[in-house]
Structure 1
């Protein structure tokens, strides 16, 4: 029995390693392509050079597009966090008749085709005379990521201890003070998680941005797409490597923030104790 369990464990290790290699292989190919010596994207590369990294500084359109992506994603995440938290507060802590239908309505953008939403936004924002700029993209992307915020923050809010709010109310605190001093501090980890997921999702958004934006307001994914239509050099791979480094930096920064939160550390510690027991 012990030998069979050990053999099965090694089979799991091999399968997990194969899946990990399959996931990492495209990233490794991008990294190798970014240091290719040739003037076109070939694999395997003819030679290795860092020349394309030096030339990236001359591509000013990518820097502007990156800043546009950061601004649009940050604005959309901020708007979605505010709207999603308030919606979760109304649905979870102050339920009313029809709140389930309202929740389903707020969650509907998650299952809607993004190209359909993009066309709808193009028509709407054209009528409002704001199509073509980042403000329109922020409004559109905020609606798209609102379900993530509502789902994560709503789940955390449903698990809060109502006794804390009741104690604050007994001491004379009003609804606004209870929300900002009792409820909101307990939601900081869920807000961080929801904001991180929403930021990554909006940063890589293509369908909606492609229909709404005009030249001068292009985000980085659109700028990369337009560049690949004209050129096939490793510049796109270089930009992709820079984005991978940016994503890893963001991931580890969020991980450090989460590890520094006492509540999460206690939660993880209790989970480990339960496993040991």
Structure 2
């Protein structure tokens, strides 16, 4: 499955604020890694399957377009939240519609039917996802004929990502002019972060954040599970004296509320 890094350029520059003095006190313990590699039911692309592949790998009859608008044909895969209401929200007052929510594995094999409902009164076609995290579901809606035959089908996949962040940052290269900061996503969620890293100096037994005014690109990265991203840090922007330092990179597990900071140390001689 193809791995992908999505890059979003939001603004031209941002200004890192300055305060009186050159440093300020900060949290002393920031690890270089958290957790361990975990690719269990992780997806390295927002669109792991085409609509044709979803129909081919599941037991449903194909979309005919006789009743449904094909809302999921171009995008058959969505991230979702626990207990979220999902579906097409279409209504068919004159038709009998069967809706199924099925838990599936990475190969889209059926594990269990979570919910099955029959709509006959023109209700909006939607179901609520369970409360669990780290689960892949198929949502299907089928128009049924008088004899129970399937007249039209629409199928989409919903993935509720786990609330988990596993990652590591390290310095992969250092010269007199620059550092190369490596961010490695150990899965199973996507990582979201930017160039909002900062540098701290170890002084008098404490880590202190260096504060200065500088212009940087405001770029956001989405890093898929198992992928690695290198960022180059220009040391001349920081005007560092000889000493012990660390780069601190804030990270967020995408589609969750988990935020962490990881740090990689280096020295200036």
TM above 0.5, yes or no, is no
TM-score between the two structures when normalised by the length of structure 1: 0.23
Which structure shows the bigger proportion of residues in helix conformation? 1
